[in-house]
Amino acid sequence: MRIGVKRLFLGTRERIAGAVYGTIVVLAALAAGATAYQHDLWRLGATVSASVLILWIAHVYAHGLGESLTLGRRLTGAELLTIGGHELAIPLASVLPLVAITLGASGVVEDGTAVWLAVAVGVATLAVQGIRYARLERLSRTGTVVSVAINLGLGLLIVGLKVILAYH
């Protein structure tokens, strides 16, 4: 069970790209919406959820179009569902940050704490994905550091955007 939950939220070898992409989308939506909805975390959660779902649908649609053109025919419903399932890591990446937002919206933690906790979960997820990628590719120690640094750099760039938006 534990391995299944880990795979669900961190993705698998085949879905690491979707997990990273989904996490970046979540962090960007948090950065963009946190200032406007800092005291309405239910709305922030809805905004993040909608952003992730819309981008997931667009990603599945675009992937489906490309696959259809490659095959030279329209995809079947089953083929499109397979693509959607394969890309499920994108919306699943939003679950843990949204749990943090829900804790704030429910009054369990302060609003600001919830937002920063959601951001921290996203940044930590990017670091973990960098490590996972390095292990899967059997990268050297230097390669691992570079992989983690690139993922963290993306996450911290978005955090920086959040800070800039919050104070302007």
pLDDT tens readout for residues 103-147:
999 999 999 999 999 999 999 999 999 998 899 899 999 999 998
Residue 129 CB neighbour total at 10 angstroms: 22
pLDDT tens readout for residues 80-97:
999 999 899 999 999 999
pTM: 0.85
Confidence of residue 159 (pLDDT cuts 50, 70, 90): confident
28-37: average pLDDT: 87
Q: Give, rounded to a whole angstrom, the gap between the first and last alpha carbons of the chain.
A: 45
Per-residue burial over 44-64, b if 16 or more Cβ lie within 10 Å, else e, is bbbbbbebbeebbeebbeebb
pLDDT tens readout for residues 40-81:
999 999 999 999 999 999 999 999 999 999 999 999 999 999
Residue 76 CB neighbour total at 10 angstroms: 9
Question: For residue 11, is pLDDT > 80?
Answer: no
* 14 vs 155: which has the higher pLDDT: 155
CA distance 107 to 74: 49
Question: For residue 10, is pLDDT > 90?
Answer: no
- Predicted local confidence at residue 98, as pLDDT: 97
Question: For residue 13, is pLDDT > 80?
Answer: no
Confidence of residue 34 (pLDDT cuts 50, 70, 90): confident
CA distance 148 to 130: 4
